[in-house]
Chains A and B, each alone.
Chain A
Amino acid sequence: MKKEKTMKLTLPEEELVGSGHLACQGCGAVLAMRDVLKALGPKTVLCIPACCWSVIDGPFPHSTLGVSIFHCAFETAASSASGLKAGLEMVGDTETTVVAWAGDGGTFDIGIQALSGAAERNEDIIYVCYDNEAYMNTGIQRSSATPYGAWTTTTPVKHFKNRPKKDIDAIIAAHRVPYQATANIAYPEDLFKKMKKAKDIKGTRFFHIWAPCPAGWKSRPEDTVKLARLAVQTTLFPIYEVENGEKYTLNINVKEPKPIKDYIRLQGRFRHLKDSDIEFIQEETNRRWDRIRKLCGL
């Protein structure tokens, strides 16, 4: 071998996610879990409501993760985690990090009440929403996180989703939680750094992680990381953090945004869109990007 250079990894080598799990080929949700657990370490427990990860982890009596999981009811990620944290503290464990790990369905829709309640009470939990933009586990039905224009089984091509994506980050900011951030599986070092920072903060911490789904987005499995990167480079999904609902910091600035078309054309769920639809999406994207930049003081 010519090279003897040491491989310098940008993330810790230890894995808390095992192989043999049931995720589809090229699943973004697994990369999100992998990155988060590398940052939080083994003294972490998860509350996982109904979502892809309830199945990915594997059937009883097996589990792919190297951390404990409370598989909880669909709408209870935040409330179960609140109780789990209280229980652990009362039995003497004040160090284990409790994470509510939910999909967009369990966060934006059915789980939003419990999330709002926990955030308002400033429960000492980390809430992670991995966002693949539909109810993927039940077979790709629309959620309020589904973007404008997308096909899903409940928004067929003739009636594609014609409402914008719910702005969960603004909703969480309105709760004035101590820390929240958006993150993306194509930028694992950024996610890792912010999760490490969040680990040491007390109170409700919220992460919104972009996790492409080849099965639901009708994209090629090998494009998962590329799509995630494009979401940032087109400014569709800005990467920023907010403290106390007020102090916005942009983590990844995009000087020359790529056109949204580059992102859209790689996904079958947008194949039916006309040029005028894509223009609309581009305008919306530009508007939201301007708003975020302004909030971040740029």
Chain B
Amino acid sequence: MKKVIMGNHALSYGAMLGRAQVIAAYPITPQTQVVELLSEMCASKALDAKFIKVESEHSAMAACLGASLAGARTFTATSSQGLALMHELLHWASGGRLPVVMGNINRSMAPGWSIWADQNDSLSQRDTGWMQFYCASNQEVLDSTIQAFKVSEALAIPSMIILDAFAISHTYEVVDVPDQAAVDAYLPPFKPALKLTSSEPHAFGGLTGPEHYFELRYKLQKDMEKAPALIDQTGLEFEKMFGRRLEQVEEYRCDDAEIILVTSGTAGYTARVAVDELRRKGVKAGNCRIRVFRPFPFDEVRRVAAKARRMAVVDRNISYGCHGIFYQEVKSALYGGADTPPIFGFIAGLGGRDITPGDFGDIARYAMSKPKPEEEIVWIGVKK
């Protein structure tokens, strides 16, 4: 049924339709609406779940881990400072092989206090062993959440559904909210192979020496390597049931592109406006939106890069002392390839500053004007 809902509520509906059984969450701007709606859904029994109103994000993730280990489907949501507060437990979720699904609203890290869109919060967690999905529309948020329960539970690896502050979280869009029955047919109940019970005593997560730790982590990586194929498979199953397909990497007008703007999150849709404008002026531009960031979509990125004469990666984030993070990872994925195009790195929109179609136009023109990059970071819009 089509509803006009905000991005945050799309997450709530995703958790509700996914029949999350335990939710533990703490409010933080701009996530609060996610948990407020979920509270109402639990109170009205639209969702049969226990909602633990914990006293911090760290306790939120700790409670999710306990619930997940017991075999319950768990969900939470947070943003920036809250995500950072959970950091040690993010490692716990992946190392403990607990398929928690979490929404993260991309918001700037303080200081100074900023509630606006920036990707450093989620990208700072890219090494924690969580799958990461960068969404660009409210529909995608809902669909990704439902698919994430399925993929995470199959692999026993947690997932993060990531959406920009305000541009998605608080923006109302038309969303096709599926029927519960249809989602039930797509997503069976959570049946973990290993869980904590009192009937069969086991200790989970005890002291692990060098003789065993390495293999446990090897197993996590090996299972993460199965994720791309599984993400595609569950995506195809979802398309069959609901008529909508989500790719690991989305291409827009890339087939004959001379310059491909590589983006993530909502900046991608802004880039498409610029792409159409450039095309009208005779510049063969395209947009590649990286949706799945972990596991990194090596095959997809290489496939798209083969089409381009130039790539301009636009990061709404930075790894200080190095460069934009998508830029680094795209370059690294393409290193050593036979026909790797020149790759330009741009940083824009930190702290929620708007990235406009005009900015993308400037980016494309700049990249087209140079045979190869002259610097690793081109700053867009900084008042120097």
A residues whose Cβ falls under 8 Å from a Cβ of B: 42-45, 47, 54-55, 57-63, 65-73, 75-76, 78-91, 93, 96, 113-114, 116-117, 120-121, 123
Contacts and interface: CB of A to CB of B under 8 A. Distances in A.
Interface string B197-236: 1101111111111001000000000000000000000000
B62 A79 contact: yes
Interface string B49-65: 11011111011101111
A24 to B, nearest CB: 16
B286 to A, nearest CB: 45
B67 interface: yes
B72 interface: yes
B212 A60 contact: yes
7 contacts: A60-B206, A65-B201, A68-B196, A82-B54, A83-B22, A90-B72, A117-B54
Contact of A113 (B56, B65, B66, B197): B56
A76 B207 contact: no
B188 to A, nearest CB: 15
A149 B204 CA distance: 38
Contacts of A90: 21-22, 49-50, 67, 70, 72
Contact of A86 (B72, B89, B205): B72
A87 B58 CA distance: 18
B252 interface: no
B198 A43 contact: yes
B24 interface: yes
A268 B53 CA distance: 45
B71 A91 contact: yes
Nearest to A49: B62
Contact of B55 (A45, A61, A73, A113): A113
A38 to B, nearest CB: 16
A71 B208 CA distance: 11
Interface string B329-359: 0000000000000000000000000000000
Interface residues of B, number: 43
A109 to B, nearest CB: 15
- Among all A-B residue pairs, the 10 with the closest Cβ atoms: A87-B70, A83-B66, A83-B63, A87-B67, A117-B55, A84-B66, A63-B203, A79-B59, A76-B62, A87-B72
A156 to B, nearest CB: 29
Contacts of B362: none
Given A44-B198, A68-B198, A114-B59, A82 B66 contact: yes
A119 to B, nearest CB: 10
Contacts of A114: 55-56, 58-59, 62
Nearest to B56: A113
Given A80-B66, A117-B56, A73 B88 contact: yes
Given A79-B62, A86-B22, A54 B206 contact: yes
Contact of B70 (A57, A71, A88): A88
Given A83-B64, A117-B56, A69 B71 contact: no
Nearest to A69: B203
A184 B71 CA distance: 35
Contacts of A67: 198, 201
B63 A86 contact: yes
B113 to A, nearest CB: 22
Nearest to B209: A59
A81 to B, nearest CB: 7
Contacts of B198: 42-45, 67-68, 93, 96
Nearest to A63: B203
Given A73-B92, A83-B68, 5 more contacts: A60-B212, A76-B59, A79-B58, A80-B65, A87-B71
Contacts of B204: 68-71
Contact of B203 (A71, A81, A82, A113): A71
A35 B67 CA distance: 27
A82 B63 contact: yes
A113 B85 CA distance: 14
A99 to B, nearest CB: 11
Q: Which of A54, A59, A65, A83 has the most CB of B within 10 A?
A: A83
Contacts of B56: 113-114, 117
Contacts of A68: 196-198, 200-204
Q: Which of B55, B62, B195 has the most CB of A within 10 A?
A: B62
A47 B54 CA distance: 17
Q: Which of B59, B66, B69, B89 has the most CB of A within 10 A?
A: B66
A78 B63 CA distance: 9
A90 B66 CA distance: 12
B108 interface: no
Contacts of B49: 90
Contacts of A123: 52
B66 A70 contact: yes
A61 B21 CA distance: 30
Nearest to A95: B198
B74 interface: yes
A75 B64 CA distance: 15
Q: Which of A80, A86, A116 has the most CB of B within 10 A?
A: A86
A75 B70 contact: no
Given A70-B196, A76-B62, A84 B54 contact: no
Interface string B361-378: 000000000000000000
B279 to A, nearest CB: 51
Contacts of B59: 76, 78-79, 82, 113-114, 117
B129 to A, nearest CB: 15
A66 B203 CA distance: 9
